[in-house]
């Protein structure tokens, strides 16, 4: 076969397969052009998931008739003034979008510069460019793409349903809107939730308002400010509290110099920063922008420009991880406000059932003696009508003494009771706090062990009688192989024949615990975590397992002073708002919400 030069229109259609793979990609290219043109308002309309119609209207700089005629030619662009591919400071730069779209659809453009008396129009169909004509047009550019992929029927077969394609357009536009809160964005069409987000003032407040619109109204009050710099790189944005998580990574928004990306390096850094505080099957919610000199990052490594390559990837990853971890540690005991809201919603659901005419069944209580506190107190005498109720599963001794004003002013308040020997009920000036004693203490022990390891290694305590633990031979071998790591965590093991290990020393913090179960769980943790992660992550994973064994267990009755001590330590301990498994350690109910629940407000 002889070599021949391909037809220019066929070349454009081949390029369109890389650049315009679906309607969302076409919208992305057009909106990025609008942003590069300095637009402050961008309106997008789609029909049929973007296959039937895509309309993008902006108020940007517009084009002259000469620029318009060149704009639909392959590799013609207003960007790259110096031709330097290593100093790209615009979203678009290849000059492929318009000719690629025009080769597989009907493309209509109307544009006008602000200083022009009239606008210019051009139509491109199946790659055939029409003649530039004068048209009536508002300042800016209006682009319509109809019958996308009509000239490449094979491409149509690979598109998803109209609903799926429309959702992809919506998700893409949301990511651009988050990265550019100073621009007004609107979206209309079928199968989507239309939105019209006004332009926000430049700064933290404007960005947080835009994030509230995009990530949910609960996000701003559950977000942490992120700001960090290192060697020419900077990160800024807002990250959700660890307990403000979701089931997919759709809530993770990242950009580099204002360019939204789904970069593997950055996603890995986010997962690493949250690994210690978010369940493994959940994902954080955040927006981070990485700012740097354009020469420090290569954006020309992916057809869709969704991935980038940093000159120093280790530096960027370390900056993201350390910046997020520092903000999460500074948050201390903070937990999401949505926990209390969900609790109140559950109460309202029960009350609404009772108020709608459906009777709530009344349980029959067995005969029992009246409960009274161990110490005589006027409130301990049963009131008339309550003497037949069973003894409550609660320790109310903390209620016998009036809480100090100082304790009520603390974030987690003063302990007032222990319910079901599992939950501590505390009173604050503004409401009630319910603490899961095991989850809270588990986090406290874990943070103590981590701090101890960072200072001078975890203190070990030799066992008077070394304990033999029998295991599966594979698990025993895995423990012996990790002996050096475990010794740095205070757990000293020796091989004791096939399928057995001998425990010589254990961490002082875990003295008196069930070593058989501890060693078995550590073996499981090593098997689950494998060897792919960093040494620090492996050690943290094992430490979390150890901490779980020395925590106050559910079912243990605590003295009032113990409950208060637990609350005070939570207030000064990083990440104490969630346990080692990412579950919340406490829920706060505002007094005003409780009063509304009972119709007092």
DSSP string, 339-361: HHHHHHHHHHHHHHHHHTT-PPP
Confidence at 571, pLDDT banded by 50, 70, 90: very high
Radius of gyration of the chain (CA): 31
Mean pLDDT score, 67-86: 79
Tell me the three-class secondary structure of 556-600, residue by residue.
CCCCHHHHHHHHHHHHHCCCCCECCCCCECEEEEEHHHHHHHCCC
DSSP annotation of 423 reads E
Structure tokens at 367: 């005969």
| Between 421 and 267, the higher pLDDT residue | 267
Residue 413 has pLDDT above 80, yes or no: yes
Res 65: pLDDT: 95
Alpha carbons 109 and 143: distance in angstroms, whole number: 5
Confidence at 254, pLDDT banded by 50, 70, 90: very high
Mean pLDDT of the chain: 84
Distances, alpha carbon 24 to alpha carbons 20, 166, 172, 249, 577, in Å = 8, 8, 7, 19, 39
Mean pLDDT score, 464-493: 90
Q: What are the start-end ranges of the H helices in 331-472? A: 338-355, 405-408, 437-456
Burial class (CB in 10 A: 0-12, 13-18, 19+), 264: exposed
Mean pLDDT score, 1-27: 78
C-alpha atoms less than 13 angstroms from C-alpha of 79 in its C-beta half-sphere: 21
Per DSSP, the three-state class of 275 is coil
Alpha carbons 130 and 109: distance in angstroms, whole number: 11
Lookup result for tokens 């494998």: 530
Res 356: pLDDT: 47
Structure tokens at 135: 């048209």
Residue 304 has pLDDT above 90, yes or no: no
Residue 83 has pLDDT above 70, yes or no: no
- The closest of 235, 193, 201, 456 to 325, measured between CA atoms, is 235
Residue 35 has pLDDT above 70, yes or no: yes
Residue 527 has pLDDT above 60, yes or no: yes
Residue 475 has pLDDT above 80, yes or no: yes
Mean pLDDT score, 82-97: 76
Alpha carbons 192 and 203: distance in angstroms, whole number: 29
Lookup result for tokens 């490449």: 152
Mean pLDDT score, 570-598: 87
Q: For strands 184-189 and 41-47, give the pairing.
A: parallel
Mean pLDDT score, 216-237: 95
Q: Which of 54-68, 138-152, 299-313 has the lowest mean pLDDT?
A: 299-313
Mean pLDDT score, 563-592: 90
Structure tokens at 438: 């095991």
Residue 504 has pLDDT above 60, yes or no: yes
Res 4: pLDDT: 79
Burial class (CB in 10 A: 0-12, 13-18, 19+), 281: exposed
Give Cα 40 distance to the centre of its chain: 28
pLDDT tens sequence across 144-188: 999 998 888 878 888 999 999 999 999 999 999 999 999 999 999
Residue 319 has pLDDT above 80, yes or no: yes
| Non-local CB neighbours of 228 within 8 Å, separated by 6+ positions | 234, 235, 319, 322, 323, 326
Q: Which of 298-302, 368-372, 555-559, 561-565 has the lowest mean pLDDT?
A: 368-372
Residue 94 has pLDDT above 60, yes or no: yes
Ramachandran assignment for 190, one of left (phi > 0), alpha (psi -120 to 50 degrees), beta (any other):
beta
Per DSSP, the three-state class of 173 is helix
Confidence at 549, pLDDT banded by 50, 70, 90: low
Residue 297 has pLDDT above 60, yes or no: yes
Q: Is the Cβ–Cβ distance between 192 and 169 less than 8 Å?
A: yes
Number of other CB atoms surrounding residue 482 within 10 Å: 21
Res 352: pLDDT: 67
DSSP annotation of 206 reads H
Alpha carbons 439 and 279: distance in angstroms, whole number: 13
Give the phi and the psi of residue 267 in degrees, each rounded to 5: -65, -40
Mean pLDDT score, 276-302: 90
Number of other CB atoms surrounding residue 247 within 10 Å: 9
Strand positions, DSSP E, 243-350:
245-246, 252-256, 259-261, 283-284, 286-291, 297-298, 309-310
Percent of the chain with pLDDT over 90: 51
Apex 484 CA angle, 479 and 487, nearest 5: 90
Determine the length of the chain. Answer: 601
Q: Is the Cβ–Cβ distance between 51 and 162 less than 8 Å?
A: yes
Alpha carbons 80 and 63: distance in angstroms, whole number: 17
Residue 334 has pLDDT above 90, yes or no: no
Confidence at 506, pLDDT banded by 50, 70, 90: confident
Res 348: pLDDT: 66
Mean pLDDT score, 299-327: 89
Res 165: pLDDT: 96
pLDDT tens sequence across 354-398: 554 444 454 444 444 443 334 444 444 444 443 443 444 555 555
Apex 90 CA angle, 85 and 93, nearest 5: 50
Q: Which of 51-55, 120-124, 445-449, 531-535 has the lowest mean pLDDT?
A: 531-535
| Between 459 and 162, the higher pLDDT residue | 162
Residue 451 has pLDDT above 60, yes or no: yes
Residue 276 has pLDDT above 80, yes or no: yes
Per DSSP, the three-state class of 308 is coil
| Non-local CB neighbours of 67 within 8 Å, separated by 6+ positions | 78
Alpha carbons 588 and 125: distance in angstroms, whole number: 61
Alpha carbons 174 and 160: distance in angstroms, whole number: 20
pTM above 0.85, yes or no: no
Residue 311 has pLDDT above 50, yes or no: yes
Percent of the chain with pLDDT over 70: 84
Residue 37 has pLDDT above 90, yes or no: yes
Residue 113 has pLDDT above 70, yes or no: yes
Mean pLDDT score, 420-443: 91
């Amino acid at each position: 076969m002889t070599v021949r030069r391909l037809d220019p229109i066929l070349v454009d259609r081949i390029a369109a397969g890389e650049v315009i793979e679906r309607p969302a990609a076409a919208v992305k290219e057009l909106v990025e052009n609008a942003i590069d043109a300095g637009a402050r308002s961008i309106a997008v309309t789609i029909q049929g998931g973007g296959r039937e119609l895509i309309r993008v209207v902006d108020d940007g700089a517009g084009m002259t008739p000469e620029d318009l005629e060149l704009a639909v030619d392959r590799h013609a662009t207003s960007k790259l003034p110096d031709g330097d591919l290593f100093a790209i400071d615009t979203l678009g730069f290849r000059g492929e979008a318009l000719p690629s779209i025009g080769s597989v659809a009907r493309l209509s453009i109307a544009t006008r510069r602000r200083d022009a008396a009239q606008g210019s129009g051009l139509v491109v169909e199946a790659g055939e460019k029409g003649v530039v004509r004068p048209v009536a047009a508002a300042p800016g550019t209006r682009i319509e793409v109809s019958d996308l992929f009509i000239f490449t029927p094979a491409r149509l077969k690979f598109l998803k349903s109209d609903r799926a394609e429309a959702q992809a357009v919506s998700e893409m536009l949301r990511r651009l809107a988050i990265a550019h809160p100073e621009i007004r964005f609107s979206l209309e069409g079928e199968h989507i939730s239309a939105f019209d987000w006004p332009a926000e003032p430049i700064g933290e407040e404007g960005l947080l308002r835009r994030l509230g619109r995009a990530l949910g109204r609960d996000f701003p009050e559950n977000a942490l400010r992120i700001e960090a710099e290192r060697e020419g790189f900077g990160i800024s944005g807002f990250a959700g509290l660890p307990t403000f998580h979701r089931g997919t990574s759709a809530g993770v928004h990242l950009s580099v110099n204002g360019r939204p990306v789904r970069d593997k390096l950055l996603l890995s850094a986010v997962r690493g920063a949250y690994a210690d505080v978010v369940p493994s099957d959940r994902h954080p919610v955040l927006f981070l922008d990485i700012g740097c000199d354009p020469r420090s990052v290569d954006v020309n490594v992916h057809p869709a420009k969704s991935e980038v390559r940093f000159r120093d990837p280790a530096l960027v990853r370390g900056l993201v991880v350390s910046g997020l971890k520092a903000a999460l540690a500074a948050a201390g005991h903070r937990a999401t406000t949505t926990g209390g809201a969900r609790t109140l919603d559950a109460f309202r659901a029960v009350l609404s059932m009772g108020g709608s005419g459906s009777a709530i069944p009344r349980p029959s209580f067995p005969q029992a003696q009246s409960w009274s506190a161990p110490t005589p107190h006027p409130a301990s005498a049963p009131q008339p009508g309550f003497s037949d109720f069973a003894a409550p599963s609660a320790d109310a001794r903390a209620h016998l003494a009036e809480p100090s004003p100082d304790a009520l002013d603390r974030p987690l308040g003063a302990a007032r009771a222990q319910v079901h020997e599992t939950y501590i009920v505390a009173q604050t000036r503004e409401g009630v706090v319910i603490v899961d004693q095991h989850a809270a203490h588990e986090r406290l022990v874990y943070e103590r062990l981590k701090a101890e390891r960072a200072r001078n290694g975890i203190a070990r305590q030799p066992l008077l009688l070394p304990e033999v633990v029998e295991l599966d031979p594979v698990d025993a071998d895995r423990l012996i192989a990790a002996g050096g790591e475990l010794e740095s965590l205070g757990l000293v093991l020796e091989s004791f024949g096939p399928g057995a290990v001998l425990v010589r020393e254990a961490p002082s913090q875990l003295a008196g615990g069930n070593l058989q179960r501890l060693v078995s769980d550590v073996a499981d943790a090593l098997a689950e975590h494998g060897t792919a992660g960093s040494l620090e992550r492996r050690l943290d994973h094992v430490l979390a397992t150890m901490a779980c064994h020395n925590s106050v267990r559910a079912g243990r009755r605590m003295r009032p002073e113990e409950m208060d001590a637990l609350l005070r330590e939570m207030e000064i301990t990083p990440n104490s708002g969630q346990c080692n498994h990412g579950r919340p350690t406490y829920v706060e109910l505002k007094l005003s919400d409780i009063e509304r629940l009972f119709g007092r407000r």
